[in-house]
């Protein structure tokens, strides 16, 4: 692992996967030690899944609770869920399980994730200086692994024989338009924007707008975030900041959302 800047946010590289981290060296060391405790858990395999709360830390738990808060806002809104920028896919799994809990018979609530599964295809000058093409990659063939995880989670809820998720691999600046051509019926109840960068956010937001209905929720992972200015610039250009209230929750300092009125 290398930590290449002494700024409050720095680029961290592990096995050639580059991400930005706001953790300081003390936090990184503490978490590395905790990972060892996790890796050497004395719990038998048969009891690990029921006891994951032993290992989920406060920031990760807050994030998960916020996803739950967002999901509850769209239970009575018709349409699919889309995540723009999936990476390891935790949100897709959470959404799949929230569907199983709150609307187990709503097989119309498809969950669609867009990602290259190889990190940022390029960056724009509007994205500033902290990010580069290839950042936020994943391991080889990760989309296959994620599909298997999503299959398992669907199998734990009703109507498991219908696949209700789709992973769209590739540059979303092309693949989202193709998805809409292939699925002209699409209404979007909830879109989670987490590309982090300008160009795909701008492009997908433009295509998404006519697919929203009153009550649709648009959430953003990085608005007002100095390390990723491109996401805010895209929102400014496509929707503006004054048309909708941009809301937040005490659960997370960065994630924000708006509800179409
Ligand atoms: C910060 S990560 C997403 C994290 C994920 N939403 C989560 O909560 O764990 C950003 C993702 O956006 C993807 N991405 C960025 N630009 C893209 C593009 N033009 N097309 C498809 N995926 C893109 C990257 O590959 C990366 O996986």
Looking at the fold, whether 50 and 120 belong to one and the same domain comes out as no
The token pair that represents 52 in the structure block? 């994951």
CA 78 – CA 99 distance, rounded (Å): 13
pLDDT digit string, tens, across residues 235-252: 999 999 999 999 999 999
Report the predicted TM-score, pTM, of the whole model to 2 decimal places.
Answer: 0.95
Looking at the fold, whether 35 and 75 belong to one and the same domain comes out as no
Looking at the fold, whether 119 and 226 belong to one and the same domain comes out as yes
Write out the residue range of the structural domain in which residue 4 sits: 1-55
Looking at the fold, whether 66 and 42 belong to one and the same domain comes out as no
Domain limit, last residue, from 38, 55, 72: 55
Nearest CA to ligand 1 atom 22: 115
Of the given ranges (2-11, 54-63, 111-120, 214-223), which has the lowest mean pLDDT? 2-11
Report the CATH number at residue 71.
3.40.50.150
Looking at the fold, whether 19 and 134 belong to one and the same domain comes out as no
Looking at the fold, whether 40 and 79 belong to one and the same domain comes out as no
**Residue of 124, 195, 203, 219 to mutate, ligand 1, most atoms within 8 A of C-beta:** 195
| β-bridge pairing 188-193 and 212-220 | parallel
pLDDT digit string, tens, across residues 154-201: 999 999 999 999 999 999 999 999 999 999 999 999 999 999 999 999
Looking at the fold, whether 102 and 224 belong to one and the same domain comes out as yes
Looking at the fold, whether 114 and 176 belong to one and the same domain comes out as yes
Looking at the fold, whether 137 and 107 belong to one and the same domain comes out as yes
Looking at the fold, whether 224 and 146 belong to one and the same domain comes out as yes
pLDDT of residue 11: 85
| Atom from ligand 1 closest to the CA of residue 138 | 27
Looking at the fold, whether 229 and 125 belong to one and the same domain comes out as yes
How far does residue 114's CA lie from ligand 1's centre (Å)? 8
Looking at the fold, whether 180 and 225 belong to one and the same domain comes out as yes
Three-state DSSP string of the chain: CEECCCCCCEEEEECCEEEEECCCHHHHHHHHHHHHHHHCCCCCHHHHHHHHHHCCCHHHHHHHHHHHHHHHCCCCCCCEEEEECCCCCHHHHHHHHHHHHHCCCCCCCCEEEEECCCCCCCCCHHHCCCCCCCCCCCCCCHHHHHHHHHHHHHHCCCCCCCCCEEEEECCHHHHHHHHHHHCCCCCEEEEEECCCCHHHHHHHHHHHHHHEEEEEEEEECCCCCCCCHHHHHHHHHHCCCCCCCCECCCCCCCCEEEECC
How far does residue 192's CA lie from ligand 1's centre (Å)? 11
């Amino acid at each position: 692992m290398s930590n290449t800047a002494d700024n409050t946010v720095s680029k961290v590289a592990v096995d050639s996967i580059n991400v930005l981290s706001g953790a300081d060296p003390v936090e990184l060391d503490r978490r590395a030690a905790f990972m060892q405790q996790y890796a050497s858990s004395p719990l038998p395999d048969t009891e690990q899944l029921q006891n994951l709360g032993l290992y989920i830390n406060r920031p990760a738990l807050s994030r998960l609770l916020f996803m739950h808060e967002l999901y509850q806002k769209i239970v009575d809104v018709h349409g699919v869920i889309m995540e723009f920028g999936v990476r390891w896919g935790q949100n897709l799994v959470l959404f799949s399980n929230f569907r199983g809990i709150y609307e187990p018979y709503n097989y119309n609530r498809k969950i669609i994730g867009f990602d290259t599964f190889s990190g940022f295809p390029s960056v724009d000058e509007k994205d500033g200086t902290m990010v580069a093409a290839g950042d936020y990659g994943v391991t080889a063939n990760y989309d296959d692994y994620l599909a298997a995880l999503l299959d398992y989670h669907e199998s734990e809820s009703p109507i498991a024989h219908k696949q209700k998720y789709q992973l769209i691999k590739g540059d979303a600046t092309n693949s989202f338009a193709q998805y809409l051509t292939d699925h002209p019926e699409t209404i979007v109840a909830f879109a989670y924007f987490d590309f982090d960068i300008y160009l795909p956010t701008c492009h997908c937001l433009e295509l998404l707008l006519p697919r929203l209905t009153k009550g649709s929720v648009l959430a953003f992972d990085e608005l007002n975030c100095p390390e990723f200015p491109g996401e805010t610039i895209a929102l400014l250009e496509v929707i503006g900041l004054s048309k909708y209230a941009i809301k937040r929750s005490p659960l997370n300092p960065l994630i924000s959302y708006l509800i179409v009125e």
